[in-house]
A = this chain, B = another copy of it.
Amino acid sequence: MDIRTIDWKNNKIRIIDQTKLPLKLLYINIDHLEDLWQAIKIMQVRGAPALGAAAGLGMYLGIKDYICSDWGKFSRKLNSVAKYLASSRPTARNLFWGIERILAVASAHKNQPITKIKQAILADAKLIMQEDAFSCRKIGAYGARLFKNNNKVLTICNAGILATIDYGTALGVVYTAVSQGKKVEVFCCETRPLLQGARLTTWELNKQGIDVTLIADNTAAKLMQENQVDMVITGADRIAANGDTANKIGSFNLAVLAKYHNIPFYVAAPKSTFDLAIRDKSGIKIELRKDQEVSSILFKKEIAPKNAKVLNPAFDVIPHQLISGIITDQGVIQMPYLQNIRKILGKNKCG
């Protein structure tokens, strides 16, 4: 694809500022850890796989200029960077996965000089990006097999190029199906409160020449009732061992609506989104975000009385019973999830 969401350029992290889309495509360079923390917090960079890459690069950013010669000191510094980065957002598994992976790489090199450890960290952070690009294409290939010609697909939020390095998970499946010559029509929920569907997915699909129609989140049930949806595909932020899947608020709504209308509901995610240490949804921490995301539009136009009480969870959890299949880079996992997730992904590869 012609867009790259996150990269390492000139010794800095380069990201697309996603808060500026669709009005402008603006790249920003980040060379302080605190700026990355903020960029994650306010969602200039977002999407679980992209956050995995941000975690890897962020770990390097946090230690690249730290001068010391003994492993003990370096390790303490690295752990403090890890803790800080991990405090930016709680739900997406990939952020923690990226941090843990870098900690493990550093630990594996602990007998080497600090400069070598730093090199190994940067190399692994770059590898995370390469692996994501590859993984998304594998997800695309497995997922595209589920498509027939002229399928109509409903999605929410953005699980595309802008949520990954350069291809997407849920939208990667669409890109692959289209590249195979299948005709695909996408309906996209605008995804209040932060409107990632309207701002990011519609923009991205338009740019790739995919037929996309924007709807208010409220229109999903009517669309299904009128047989305009052959399948729902979403991304994922964290998948428990039993298949329960945290994703953007509204995903659970779509899963219930799809069940009622007998429409298959798929989740697409790389290995790094699975959290086998958590058995089910009760272990998934859901981020609560600022009231102003709901009581105003993108922090500008106020739409509610000043004193309005607001509840603004950023995610919900789709119970595994409502998921027809989880499209991963290792194949499409189906029920029973508790057994099949372990069988396909392996206990130790993604803990």
Contacts and interface: CB of A to CB of B under 8 A. Distances in A.
A214 B312 CA distance: 9
Contacts of A256: 221, 256-257, 260
Contacts of A225: 252, 316-317
A79 interface: no
A310 B223 CA distance: 13
Contacts of A203: 304-305
A23 interface: yes
Contacts of A83: none
A220 B206 CA distance: 30
A46 to B, nearest CB: 16
Which of A193, A221, A260: most chain B CB closer than 10 A? A221
The count of identical subunits is: 2
Contact of A253 (B193, B220, B307): B220
A250 B218 contact: yes
A312 B216 contact: yes
Contacts of A304: 22, 190, 198-199, 202-203, 214
A303 B297 contact: yes
A195 B218 CA distance: 11
A307 B206 contact: yes
B294 A215 contact: yes
A216 B198 contact: no
B218 A249 contact: yes
A223 B212 CA distance: 30
A302 B22 CA distance: 9
Interface in A180-230: 187, 189-193, 195, 198-199, 202-203, 206, 211-223, 225
A349 interface: no
A317 to B, nearest CB: 8
A319 to B, nearest CB: 8
A262 to B, nearest CB: 12
Contact of A216 (B193, B260, B298, B301): B193
A76 interface: no
A215 B295 CA distance: 9
B260 A206 contact: no
Contacts of A191: 218
A263 to B, nearest CB: 12
A26 interface: no
Given A212-B309, A219-B311, 9 more contacts: A192-B216, A216-B217, A216-B312, A218-B248, A219-B249, A219-B312, A256-B256, A298-B303, A301-B301
13 contacts: A199-B304, A206-B307, A212-B308, A212-B309, A214-B294, A216-B294, A219-B249, A221-B256, A222-B249, A222-B252, A225-B316, A297-B297, A301-B301
- Per CB-CB distance, the 10 closest pairs between chain A and chain B, nearest first, are A218-B250, A222-B316, A221-B253, A297-B297, A192-B216, A221-B252, A198-B304, A22-B305, A218-B249, A213-B309
